[in-house]
């Protein structure tokens, strides 16, 4: 049986009856809730995946935050500000959902800032032009939606519920990104060039967001059985490409893949090879912005330390006063 | 009151309101992604968003009074520093969290009384805009007032930083209440608020709160002035260079 061989935090075998009941519940599409029994490996997998997701939202504020003060119109400025604020809100929901698994946000933050925890590799790329705001919304949020919509049915209740609201907001984000690209693509030659360059920069890293190819994916099989994952990395990547190619054509922009073409037999677009070495390098910390993204988070945390301490001390003083 | 088409005084006053909100919102937006913790990151961004929204409305009202067709964005992105009419306090750098908080508190209390008074303006579009803004700035004030207290009555470091912020900012506040001949005329027409009254109540409330927070007012310093006449600090030029970059580099484009 697939759940056999699982061990708990102390290396002991998980009790077979509990495991069987747990898996049966998942198979019946019932949600696992925080107070329910769950195997230690399930808990650990969720903590890893959910905290990576939360960290990605938080670090993901930075590449777009880069353009808030330079957005070209008042409306664009407000939309971008609201969008980046949404990302912070998503981070908050998911950290809170992760806390139901018995970790604290402080622990998770320490893991991010110490470099121990990962976040989505896409945020380690720079956003040198305004068009990157369009490309990120369109492609990065588009890829995120492909990944996240199935998570609304994830077996862990708090995660699934947080994803429902997040997906609604991401869908707005994707549309606003595509709308930025539409205006640029129909604008002056300089604007169209700006849009094309942003597409060139973002396309391959966006494809990498779906994770390694199925044959190299280490966590997939178990996650599928636990219904934390519903589709394989390659399936989702293909779905994203099939949806995105016609959108690029509609914009009159060229996807930077000379091998990309519709396969009449499968009905899907075939694509050129993904540079997995680049992906691995970025994951290892050697992407163009890894150091500055993490440093920005470390700086915000360090500079905010006295504020957090002040808030705590004030609260304690208030409580003492109430008691007295 | 209608038929304000040829009222340069009103146009210029609307720009003062808009420029003040925009420069304040622009500075606050610099905190996005860099706040002391997530909840505050979201809160600071929210306030910034409200302020930029107010600016947008006031620019639209100003644009409607313009002789030539012009948009809110033209007014925000295509005027140089000497044409901006905000008080200098709103263009000052964001500083640390104590500095941002105290500056915000000064502006929030001012905005509450300003919009309260403007909500009875004889110029109806302004009265409506002020009513909408008032609902939001009341929340801003509640938040910044609580933070001034939280920082001042907690740790030594937070208190020291708050006291320093007060020394640095206090003499920028008189400019909030400055008026010129055009504004005095608008006041007589019932279009704008009585700034003397706002000043009195602002001082009563702010000084009482600062005293409650055990903060000391500075005795002397340079008293800021000039924003209303387009005389600004060195900071505004950099802010506009950043904010207006795309509109300046690619003129006449849609975005």
Interface contact flag, B72 A61, Cβ < 8 Å: no
Which chain B residues are Cβ-neighbours of A129 within 8 angstroms? none
Interface contact flag, A74 B59, Cβ < 8 Å: yes
| CB contact set of A227 (below 8 Å; sequence gap of 6+) | A26, A29, A153, A154, A155
Q: Name residue, tokens 């720009």.
A: B15
Please enumerate residues of A whose Cβ is less than 8 A from a Cβ of B.
Answer: 58, 61-62, 65, 68-78, 81-82, 84-85, 88-89, 91-92, 95, 130, 183, 187-188, 190-191, 296, 299-300, 303-311, 313-314, 317
Q: Are A98 and A47 in contact (CB under 8 A)?
A: yes
Which chain B residues are Cβ-neighbours of A307 within 8 angstroms? 36-37, 40, 97, 151, 158
User: Mutate which of A75, A198, A311 to disrupt the B interface (most B C-beta within 10 Å)?
Assistant: A311
Lowest mean pLDDT among A17-31, B4-18, B77-91, B122-136: B4-18
Give per-residue burial for B147-157: e unless 16+ CB within 10 Å, then b.
bbbbbbbbbeb
pLDDT value for A232 = 92
pLDDT digit string (tens) for A189-211?
999 999 999 999 999 999 999 99
Task: Work out the average pLDDT over A60-71.
Answer: 97
pLDDT value for A195 = 98
Give per-residue burial for B207-235: e unless 16+ CB within 10 Å, then b.
eebbeebebeeeeeeeebeebbeeebbeb
Which chain B residues are Cβ-neighbours of A317 within 8 angstroms? 153-154
pLDDT interval class at A2 (50, 70, 90): very low
d(CA B27, CA B25): 5
Q: Name residue, tokens 């121990």.
A: A116
The β-bridge partners of B101 are: none
* Burial class of residue A273 (count of CB atoms within 10 Å of its CB; 0-12, 13-18, 19+): exposed
Helices (H), A214-304: 220-225, 233-251, 276-281, 290-303
User: Mutate which of A62, A70, A72 to disrupt the B interface (most B C-beta within 10 Å)?
Assistant: A72
d(CA B99, CA B93): 9
- ipTM for this model: 0.96
The distance of A133 to chain B (nearest Cα, Å) reads: 12
Task: Work out the average pLDDT over A38-61.
Answer: 96
Which secondary structure element, helix H or strand E, spans residue A270, and what is its range? strand A269-270
Is residue A9 scored above 80 in pLDDT?
Answer: no
Which chain B residues are Cβ-neighbours of A299 within 8 angstroms? 34
Q: Please, what is the Cα angle at A96 between A91 and A99, to 5 degrees?
A: 125
pLDDT digit string (tens) for B14-58?
999 999 999 999 999 999 999 999 999 999 999 999 999 999 999
Helices (H), chain B: 8-29, 38-64, 72-77, 97-118, 124-152, 156-169, 181-188, 195-212, 235-243, 245-249
Q: Which CATH architecture has domain B7-249?
A: Up-down Bundle (1.20)
* Burial class of residue A274 (count of CB atoms within 10 Å of its CB; 0-12, 13-18, 19+): middle
User: Mutate which of A71, A75, A87, A88 to disrupt the B interface (most B C-beta within 10 Å)?
Assistant: A88
Q: Percentage of chain A with pLDDT > 70?
A: 98
């Amino acid at each position: 049986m697939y759940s056999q061989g699982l061990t708990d935090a102390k290396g002991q075998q998980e009790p077979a009856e509990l495991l069987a009941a747990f898996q049966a519940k998942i198979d019946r599409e019932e949600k696992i809730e925080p107070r329910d029994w769950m195997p230690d490996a399930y808990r650990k997998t969720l903590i890893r995946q959910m905290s990576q997701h939360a960290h990605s939202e938080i670090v993901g504020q930075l590449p777009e935050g880069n353009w808030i003060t330079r957005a070209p119109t008042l409306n664009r400025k407000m939309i971008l500000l609201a969008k980046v604020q949404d990302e912070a809100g998503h981070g908050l929901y998911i950290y809170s959902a992760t806390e139901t698994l018995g970790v604290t946000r402080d622990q998770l933050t320490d893991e991010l800032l110490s470099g121990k925890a990962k976040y989505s590799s896409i945020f380690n790329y720079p956003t040198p032009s305004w068009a990157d705001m369009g490309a990120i919304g369109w492609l990065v949020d588009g890829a995120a939606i492909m990944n996240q919509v199935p998570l609304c049915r994830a077996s862990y209740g708090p995660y699934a519920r947080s994803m429902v609201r997040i997906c609604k907001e991401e869908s707005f984000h994707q549309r606003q990104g595509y709308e930025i690209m539409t205006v640029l693509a129909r604008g002056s030659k300089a604007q169209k060039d700006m849009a094309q360059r942003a597409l060139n920069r973002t396309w391959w890293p966006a494809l990498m967001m779906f994770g390694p190819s199925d044959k190299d994916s280490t966590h997939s099989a178990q996650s599928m059985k636990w219904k934390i994952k519903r589709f394989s990395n390659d399936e989702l990547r293909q779905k994203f490409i099939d949806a995105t190619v016609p959108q690029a054509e509609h914009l009159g922009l060229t996807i930077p893949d000379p091998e990309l073409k519709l396969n009449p037999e499968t009905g899907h677009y075939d694509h050129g090879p993904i540079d997995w070495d680049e992906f691995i390098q970025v994951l290892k910390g050697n992407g163009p912005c890894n150091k500055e993204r993490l440093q920005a988070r470390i700086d915000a945390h360090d500079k905010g330390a006295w504020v957090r301490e002040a808030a705590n001390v004030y609260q304690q003083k208030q409580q003492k006063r109430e008691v007295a | 009151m209608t038929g304000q088409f040829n009222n340069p005084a009103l146009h210029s006053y609307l720009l003062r309101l808009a420029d003040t909100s925009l420069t304040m919102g622009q500075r606050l937006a610099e905190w996005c992604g860099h706040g002391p913790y997530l909840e505050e990151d979201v809160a600071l961004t929210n306030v910034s968003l409200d302020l930029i929204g107010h600016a947008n409305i006031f620019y639209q009202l100003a644009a409607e009074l313009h002789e030539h067709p012009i948009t809110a964005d033209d007014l925000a992105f295509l005027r140089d520093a000497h044409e901006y009419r905000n008080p200098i306090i709103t263009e000052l750098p964001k500083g640390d969290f104590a500095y941002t908080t105290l500056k915000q508190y000064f502006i929030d209390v001012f905005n509450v009384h300003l919009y309260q008074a403007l909500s009875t303006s004889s110029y109806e579009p302004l009265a409506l805009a002020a009513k909408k803004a008032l609902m939001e700035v009341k929340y801003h004030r509640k938040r910044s007032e609580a933070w001034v207290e939280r920082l001042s009555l907690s740790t030594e470091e937070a208190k020291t930083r708050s006291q320093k912020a007060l020394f640095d900012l206090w003499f920028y506040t008189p400019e909030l209440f400055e008026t010129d001949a055009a504004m005095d005329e608008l006041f007589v027409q019932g279009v704008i608020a009585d700034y003397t009254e706002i000043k009195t109540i602002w001082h009563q409330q702010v000084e009482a709160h600062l005293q409650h927070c055990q903060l000391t007012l500075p005795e002397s310093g340079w008293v800021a002035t000039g924003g209303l006449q387009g005389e600004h600090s060195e900071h505004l030029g950099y802010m506009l260079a950043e904010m207006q970059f795309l509109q300046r580099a690619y003129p006449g484009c849609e975005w």
